[in-house]
Amino acid sequence: MLSLTVHAQTRYEIKFIQDLFNSDLLIEDCKNKASQFVIISDDTVSALYAQRLKNILEQLGSPVHVATFPPGEHYKTRETKAKLEEVMLNARCTRDTYVIALGGGIVTDVAGFVAATYCRGVPVIYIPTTLLAMVDASIGGKTGVNVPQGKNLIGAFKQPHCVYIDVDFLTTLPTVEFNNGMVELIKHALIRDADLFAELERQTLSLQDKNQLEHMIYRSCEIKRDIVEIDPEEKNMRQLLNFGHTVGHVIESVSHYDIRHGEAVALGMLIECYFSQQLGYLVPKALARIKAVLATYHLPLALPDTIKQVSWLDYFKMDKKSLNSQVYSVILEDIGRPYIAGGKYAHLITPDLLAEAQNYS
Ligand X SMILES: NC(=O)c1ccc[n+]([C@@H]2O[C@H](COP(=O)([O-])OP(=O)(O)OC[C@H]3O[C@@H](n4cnc5c(N)ncnc54)[C@H](O)[C@@H]3O)[C@@H](O)[C@H]2O)c1
Please give the residue ranges that form the binding site for ligand X (CB under 6 A): 42, 44-45, 48, 71, 73, 76, 103-107, 109, 129-130, 132-133, 136-137, 140, 142, 152, 169, 172-173, 177, 180, 261-262
Report in angstroms how near the CB of residue 25 gets to ligand X at its nearest: 18
Report in angstroms how near the CB of residue 317 gets to ligand X at its nearest: 19
For ligand X, which is the closer residue by CB, 137 or 293? Answer: 137
Report in angstroms how near the CB of residue 47 gets to ligand X at its nearest: 9
User: Within 10 Å of residue 129's Cβ, how many Cβ atoms?
Assistant: 28
Q: Return d(Cα 257, Cα 6) in angstroms, integer.
A: 31
For ligand X, which is the closer residue by CB, 241 or 286? Answer: 241
Report in angstroms how near the CB of residue 117 gets to ligand X at its nearest: 16
Report in angstroms how near the CB of residue 94 gets to ligand X at its nearest: 26
Catalytic residue list = 120, 142, 184, 224, 234, 238, 242, 245, 249, 261
For ligand X, which is the closer residue by CB, 14 or 93? Answer: 14
For ligand X, which is the closer residue by CB, 34 or 42? Answer: 42
Of the candidates 1, 13, 10, 9, the one whose C-alpha atom is nearest the C-alpha of residue 221 is 13
For ligand X, which is the closer residue by CB, 169 or 281? Answer: 169
